[in-house]
Structure 1
Amino acid sequence: MPEPTTHGQSQPRLLPRPLAWRQAGTGCGHPSEPPQPDHTPATPYAPAPGAPAELLARLRADRRAGQWVPAFERDWAKALDDARHTFSLTPLHEVVRTWQLRVAAAPDADAYLDSGRDESGSVDLDDVLDGRP
């Protein structure tokens, strides 16, 4: 229903737009706004600034330090070289994340191996991963 204005003219009453129109990817609902994506892009993993040093300390304290520390340092050196060439920290973040997951999974792997299961027919993980961490 039109509402009177101070000049005696009528203006149509503005009704709120339907909610479905707002959810259709048009921002907050204003027609002049460009459409917004209907999903949020995944934020790449970025470890805390001290995470590599903390991770290396954990690796050095682990019973597998003799194998893990040189492997981590080799992966880190390669990722650092890649980062220099690409100007991206992503290779370094991936190394930290991979090794954090490896360290976190170690107790479960130990428990499985200590359970006495027969592993004679299994495949070596290095063969499956083809040398990748």
Structure 2
Amino acid sequence: MCPHAVLPCARSSGRTASPAARRPACRPVGAAFEQEWAADLEDSRRTFSLGGLYAVLQDWQGRIAHAPAVDALAASGYDDSDAVDMAELRGRRQRR
């Protein structure tokens, strides 16, 4: 499984014509999950809430489940420059 398919990167800000050209060098998936988990674990200790940890698990389950489809889309050369960030959509839904 390609880690680029399931891992957003801070360096992926610019849009270019080719999805493959946009794909940055990313940190390994395990390290990214551990970083997010550790941050939310500390937050849950302060707030006595497991909501953040649940959100991390749900987000990563979605990323891993959709990785093959994302890899196939990236390999097809489909222009996704007008795509919407799913994290932004989830944030909108949770604020309602």
Q: TM-score scaled by structure 2? A: 0.55
Q: Which runs of 4+ in 1 moved over 4 A?
A: 123-126
Q: 1:118 to 1:90 in 2, by over 3 A?
A: closer
Point out the structure with the larger helix share: 2
The answer for the alignment partner of 2:74 in structure 1 is 113
Runs of 5+ in structure 1 lacking a partner? 1-61
Is the CA contact 2:41–2:53 (under 8 Å) kept in the aligned structure 1?
yes
Of structures 1 and 2, the one scoring higher in RCO (CA 8 A, sep 6+) is 2
Q: How big is the alpha-carbon RMSD for the aligned residues of Structure 1 and Structure 2?
A: 2.7
After superposition, the C-alpha distances for 1:38-92 in whole angstroms (9 at most, x for unaligned) are xxxxxxxxxxxxxxxxxxxxxxxx4429431121111000110011001111111
Q: 1:84 to 1:99 in 2, by over 3 A?
A: same
The answer for the alignment partner of 2:57 in structure 1 is 96
| Rounded Cα–Cα distance in structure 2 between residues aligned with 1:76 and 1:110 | 24
Identical-residue share of aligned pairs (%): 41
Runs of 5+ in structure 2 lacking a partner? 5-26, 92-96
Q: TM-score scaled by structure 1? A: 0.41
Secondary structure at the counterpart of residue 52 of structure 2: helix
Q: 1:125 to 1:75 in 2, by over 3 A?
A: farther
After superposition, the C-alpha distances for 1:79-133 in whole angstroms (9 at most, x for unaligned) are 10011001111111110000000111111111111112245xx26978x85xx9x
